[in-house]
Amino acid sequence: MAMNEPEFIAALRRLPLHPGARNLEDDCALITIGDETLVINHEMMAEGTHFRPDADMADVAWKLVATNLSDLAAKGAEPVGVLLGHSLGRDDVRFLQGLKEALQAFNVPLLGGDTVAATGASTFAMTAIGRATHHPVPARRGAKLGDAVYVTGTIGRAMLGFEGAAYHRAAFDRPEPRLAEGLALAPLVSAMMDVSDGLLLDCWRMASLNGVTFAIDPDAVPVADYARRDECMRWGDDYELLFTAAPDAAIPVAASRIGNVVAAGLAPLVLGENAFPTADNLGYWHG
Q: What band does 286 get if pLDDT is binned at 50, 70 and 90?
A: low
- Asked whether residue 163 falls in the same domain as residue 233, the answer is yes
Residue 281 inside a domain? The answer is: no
Domain range enclosing 116: 26-132
pLDDT band (50, 70, 90) for residue 121? confident
C-alpha atoms less than 13 angstroms from C-alpha of 159 in its C-beta half-sphere: 22
Question: What CA dihedral angle connects 10, 196, 287 and 124, to 10 degrees?
Answer: -100
Confirm whether 21 is domain-assigned.
no
Q: How many domains does the chain have?
A: 2
Span 99-106, average pLDDT: 98
Instruction: Looking at the structure, tell me whether residues 97 and 196 fall in a common domain.
Output: no
Q: Are residues 87 and 183 in the same domain?
A: no
CATH number at residue 46: 3.30.1330.10
Confidence band (pLDDT; 50, 70, 90) for 153? very high
Q: What pTM was computed for the model?
A: 0.95
Please identify, among 107, 132, 157, the residue that sits at the C-terminal boundary of a domain: 132
What is the phi-psi region of residue 11: left when phi exceeds 0, alpha when psi lies from -120 to 50, beta otherwise? alpha
126 shares a domain with 162:
no
Residue 143 lies in a domain: no
Q: Is 177 exposed, middle or buried (0-12, 13-18, 19+ CB in 10 A)?
A: buried
Q: Quick one: pLDDT band at residue 225, thresholds 50, 70, 90? A: very high
Residue 215 lies in a domain: yes
Whether 9 is covered by a domain: the verdict is no
* Pairing state between β 212-216 and 269-271: parallel
Q: Please write the tens of the pLDDT for every residue from 156-166.
A: 999 999 999 99
Q: Mind listing the pLDDT tens digit for each residue in 249-264?
A: 999 999 999 999 999 9
pLDDT in tens, 28-39: 999 999 999 999
Pair (161, 261) in one structural domain: yes
Q: Are 54 and 45 in contact (CB under 8 A)?
A: no
What share of the chain in percent tops pLDDT 70? 99
Q: Is residue 50 scored above 90 in pLDDT?
A: no
